[in-house]
Amino acid sequence: MSGIIEIFESSIPCLSTIIELQEAVQREALAFSAETNKYLLYHTLKQVGASAAQRIVQKLVEQGEIEWDEDWEVEQILDCVVENGVDHYFIKWKGWSHKHNTWEPKENLGNCSALLDEFHAKNSGDAEQVRLWRKRKFSEIVDDEEDPLEAKRKRVDKIFKKLTSLKNKITPIQLVRLSSATTGKKPLYKGLISGKGKKIPKFLINYKLLNPKSKAYKEKKKEILAALKDWERELNSINTDPAPIDIENNVDLEGPPENFVYLNDYKPGEGIEIPDDPLVGCECEDCYSNKKSCCPSQCGAVFAYYKHKRVRVPRGTPIYECNKRCECGPDCPNRVVQQGRKFRVCIFRTANGRGWGVKAMQNIKQGSFVMEYVGEVITNEEAERRGKSYDASGRTYLFDLDYNDGDCPFTVDAAWYGNVSHFVNHSCDPNLEVFGVWINTLDPRLPRIALFARRDIEKGEELTFDYMMTGATYAQSPEAGGDVEVPVLQPMLIDKEDTVSETSDNQHGESEVSVSDSGDMPSLIEQCENVEEVDVKLKGKVDPESESNLVSIDVGRAKDFKEKEAGPPVLTKMKKSPRAPIDEYKIMCQCGAKNCRKYLF
Ligand SMILES: C[S@@+](CC[C@H](N)C(=O)[O-])C[C@H]1O[C@@H](n2cnc3c(N)ncnc32)[C@H](O)[C@@H]1O
């Protein structure tokens, strides 16, 4: 065994920075696996940012460490503002499309004096006007289409991809050393910039920060807690869910994550439109008593909730909620996910190296809606591209909206934009369960991803879901005494003549879910504009033995797990590159469950 497994066994203190980790690895005569190296490299590039990464690459070229056949040349200066007293210019980079244009402080444009002169000459009109023009705020000039964070991220990804494809492998520590040299920020280390074969320099580690009793640690901790409080305020000012979010770090000195933008809903990625006009709604006076004609039934699905709004269908069952065209009010039992997260949760620092996690701040009853998984909705091709760098970095936030035939037109990426669910960790014995939910967007390819309590959850318990939910095509219906198997239905793929109805009452006096013939029911899908795109082939009666009855929103690429072969997948997440041999991407699962599968993906 090598690499990360050995590092785990060496018990590096959790406060280790990248440098400390490398130092410890060298001291113990261990080596990072290629994957760990890649992970640290990507993380370091992200930390230093796109512009500094460019300068580091230039340094590496100057030092003869690498050959780089393209360099970053400013092609044109397009705009200028003064923000916090610093001139910032909007740059078009040579060889990079306008998508990659970025705002750069003047200090980053050291050798562009000719272009700067040219820009200022062109824009030297009325002095007062120029002054006002330069004083515009970033927020006034960055239009909605433009996403500077996205442009920078793309540049980091591109640099990372290129660096890892070079013959000469660059280590993260080289980047860290050069980063302090090029950014002019407080150096992270002291010593020579080592070439190959040279002695590793002595690092400037603030060992006091490793001792929680030291004054330095306590001061740093205070600083971090203040930053986390600010972050908590910021998240709660954006969060539109009825329940607030707490933030807690009683474990280490990690502050708020950089480059993470809080969102409440899906953010459509480039070229993606998320329709939100359902065209039709129900006219029920009381949707719960009118299950047979309410929205779910019109979509060939079952009414998914009990009166008190807890889910009563097994996982994988598509959920159709009442939508904005329906006549029912907000108290309708078929409006649950759309009303947002009602349970207070806390983003907390885990104590066993899993980074941040999320815990419940109040008891949650089985079947309750807990939160939605939101992020950028991107195409399959874009997900493939991003997936490669995420896989290499050992972290992924990609959730395939894959369904039925394994074809995955869209993926939700919560890496840069997301809500609390961004921080929810995996468990092989999770307490949350995933459902696809359709509300105002009835495009079958664009379900919302909702996480419901799989069992009663106690206040303080960490919230988890299974990143590789696979297999079980039948869920036990707890309401039916635990042993009754309930078929999981697939949206759009049931016979027009098979509609779903409720039959016997359960012990709580609420009806159970079953499938029966009930004649011709006009399908909501048939009324949708995109009906041509939906596979509405008649499939015969819903057959509980048949895979084709299943909603399968696929784990995507974690193909190598035996469990996956055991049965068709259900709404699940976390992409891995199909081309990557699984050996390269083994990440130890730290969920601690008895039935732990050992590897995350
Ligand atoms: C969706 S993120 C969860 C939030 C993450 N812990 C953070 O700090 O941002 C997924 C990543 O968290 C880590 N993770 C989640 N569950 C884990 C587990 N059971 N064991 C080890 N690492 C885990 C892995 O790095 C994984 O790629």
| Residue 453 near ligand 1, beta carbon < 6 Å | no
User: What is the pLDDT at residue 358?
Assistant: 98
Residue whose CB lies within 8 A of the most ligand 1 atoms, among 8, 262, 374, 600, for a mutation test: 600
Tokens of 51: 């512009």
68 vs 10, more confident: 68
Closest approach atom of ligand 1 to CA 397: 1
Beta-bridge mates of residue 37: none
**593 CA → ligand 1 middle, Å:** 15
Whose C-alpha lies nearest to ligand 1, atom 27?
A: 395
Q: How confident is the model at residue 529 (pLDDT cuts 50, 70, 90)?
A: very low
Residues 6+ apart with CB under 8 A from 295: 281, 282, 287, 320, 321, 322, 323, 326, 334, 524
Q: What is the pLDDT of residues 34-83, one digit of tens each?
A: 666 777 777 777 777 777 777 788 778 877 878 777 656 788 888 887 77
284: helix, strand or coil: coil
| Residue 105 near ligand 1, beta carbon < 6 Å | no
Q: Mean pLDDT over residues 575-581, rounded? A: 40
Give the C-alpha separation, 52 to 39, whole Å.
18
Q: How confident is the model at residue 423 (pLDDT cuts 50, 70, 90)?
A: very high
Give the C-alpha separation, 499 to 202, whole Å.
72
Question: DSSP letter at 364?
Answer: B
The Cα-based distances of 315 to 117, 118, 490, 600 in angstroms read 63, 62, 11, 21
Q: Which is catalytic among the residues 262, 467, 474, 585? A: 467
Give the C-alpha separation, 419 to 441, whole Å.
20
136: helix, strand or coil: coil
Give the C-alpha separation, 124 to 109, whole Å.
20
Give the max Cα distance, the chain: 81
pLDDT at 227 over 70: yes
Rounded to the nearest 10 degrees, what angle do helices 18-27 and 172-183 cross at? Answer: 140
User: Which range is most confident: 182-186, 482-486, 520-524?
Assistant: 182-186
Closest approach atom of ligand 1 to CA 257: 9
Q: How many Cβ atoms are within 10 Å of 8's Cβ, its own excluded? A: 12
Q: Mean pLDDT over residues 107-123, rounded? A: 80
Q: Mean pLDDT over residues 417-436, rounded? A: 94
Beta strands in 167-242 (DSSP E): none
Q: Mean pLDDT over residues 85-93, rounded? A: 80
| Residue 397 near ligand 1, beta carbon < 6 Å | yes
**408 CA → ligand 1 middle, Å:** 23
pLDDT at 429 over 70: yes
Pairing of strands 448-453, 432-438: antiparallel
Task: Check if the beta carbon of residue 264 is closer than 8 Å to that of residue 303.
Answer: no
| Residue 171 near ligand 1, beta carbon < 6 Å | no
Q: How many Cβ atoms are within 10 Å of 312's Cβ, its own excluded? A: 24
Tokens of 594: 């008895």
Give the C-alpha separation, 116 to 101, whole Å.
16
pLDDT at 248 over 60: yes
| Residue 426 near ligand 1, beta carbon < 6 Å | yes
**424 CA → ligand 1 middle, Å:** 7
Closest approach atom of ligand 1 to CA 601: 27
Q: Mean pLDDT over residues 204-220, rounded? A: 71
User: What is the pLDDT at residue 70?
Assistant: 63
| Residue 589 near ligand 1, beta carbon < 6 Å | yes
Rounded to the nearest 10 degrees, what angle do helices 34-48 and 18-27 cross at? Answer: 150
- Is residue 467 part of the annotated active site? The answer reads yes
Single-letter amino acid code for the residue at 330: P
Whose C-alpha lies nearest to ligand 1, atom 25?
A: 395
Closest approach atom of ligand 1 to CA 423: 4
pLDDT at 287 over 80: yes
Closest approach atom of ligand 1 to CA 395: 27
What percent of the chain is modeled with pLDDT above 70?
A: 61
Whose C-alpha lies nearest to ligand 1, atom 23?
A: 354
Letter string b/e over residues 350-364, b meaning 16 or more CB atoms within 10 A of that residue's CB: beeebebbbbbbeeb
Closest approach atom of ligand 1 to CA 350: 6
Q: 39: number of CA atoms within 13 Å, CB side?
A: 19
| Mean pLDDT, rounded, of the chain | 70
- For CA atoms 524, 525, 527, 530, give the dihedral sign: positive
Q: How confident is the model at residue 230 (pLDDT cuts 50, 70, 90)?
A: very high
Single-letter amino acid code for the residue at 41: L
Q: Mean pLDDT over residues 221-228, rounded? A: 92
- Among 108-117, 275-284, 326-335, 543-552, the range scoring the smallest mean pLDDT is 543-552
User: What is the pLDDT at residue 149?
Assistant: 64
pLDDT at 560 over 60: no
Residues 6+ apart with CB under 8 A from 376: 266, 267, 268, 269, 412, 413, 414, 416, 417
Residue 150 burial by CB count (10 A; 0-12/13-18/19+): exposed, middle or buried? Answer: middle
| Residue 591 near ligand 1, beta carbon < 6 Å | yes
User: Which range is most confident: 63-72, 385-394, 411-420, 546-555?
Assistant: 411-420
- Among 20-24, 48-52, 127-131, 303-307, the range scoring the smallest mean pLDDT is 20-24
Give the C-alpha separation, 218 to 409, whole Å.
49
| Residue 373 near ligand 1, beta carbon < 6 Å | no
Tokens of 292: 């047979």
- Among 205-209, 255-259, 370-374, 413-417, the range scoring the smallest mean pLDDT is 205-209
pLDDT at 381 over 70: yes
**467 CA → ligand 1 middle, Å:** 10
Give the C-alpha separation, 13 to 20, whole Å.
9
Least Cα distance to 258 among 385, 394, 152 occurs for 152
**395 CA → ligand 1 middle, Å:** 7
**334 CA → ligand 1 middle, Å:** 33
Q: pTM for the whole thing?
A: 0.59
> Any idea which residue has 């008891």 for tokens?
363
pLDDT at 239 over 90: yes
Residues 6+ apart with CB under 8 A from 111: none
Q: What is the pLDDT of residues 311-368, one digit of tens each?
A: 999 887 899 999 999 999 999 999 999 999 999 999 999 998 888 999 999 999 999 9
79: helix, strand or coil: strand
Whose C-alpha lies nearest to ligand 1, atom 19?
A: 591
Give the C-alpha separation, 318 to 437, whole Å.
6
Give the DSSP H or E segment for 527. helix 524-527
The angle formed by the CA atoms of residues 360, 366 and 367, to the nearest 5 degrees, is 105
102 vs 1, more confident: 102
Q: How confident is the model at residue 141 (pLDDT cuts 50, 70, 90)?
A: low
Q: Which is catalytic among the residues 42, 189, 373, 417? A: 373
| Residue 423 near ligand 1, beta carbon < 6 Å | yes
Q: 549: number of CA atoms within 13 Å, CB side?
A: 22
pLDDT at 23 over 80: no
320: helix, strand or coil: strand
- Among 183-197, 238-252, 303-317, 516-530, the range scoring the smallest mean pLDDT is 516-530
How many residues does the structure list for the chain? 601
Least Cα distance to 195 among 59, 50, 54 occurs for 59
Tell me the Ramachandran region of residue 264: left when phi exceeds 0, alpha when psi lies from -120 to 50, beta otherwise.
alpha
pLDDT at 5 over 70: no
The Cα-based distances of 364 to 455, 476, 586 in angstroms read 8, 20, 33
What percent of the chain is modeled with pLDDT above 90?
A: 28
pLDDT at 258 over 50: yes
Least Cα distance to 299 among 66, 485, 534, 107 occurs for 534
Single-letter amino acid code for the residue at 277: D
Order of strands, sheet of 448-453, starting from the edge strand that comes earlier in the sequence: 319-320, 432-438, 448-453, 369-373
pLDDT at 19 over 80: no
pLDDT at 454 over 70: yes
Task: Check if the beta carbon of residue 449 is closer than 8 Å to that of residue 458.
Answer: no
**147 CA → ligand 1 middle, Å:** 26
User: What is the pLDDT at residue 476?
Assistant: 30
**400 CA → ligand 1 middle, Å:** 17
194 vs 430, more confident: 430
Beta-bridge mates of residue 437: 319, 448
Q: Mean pLDDT over residues 468-490, rounded? A: 34
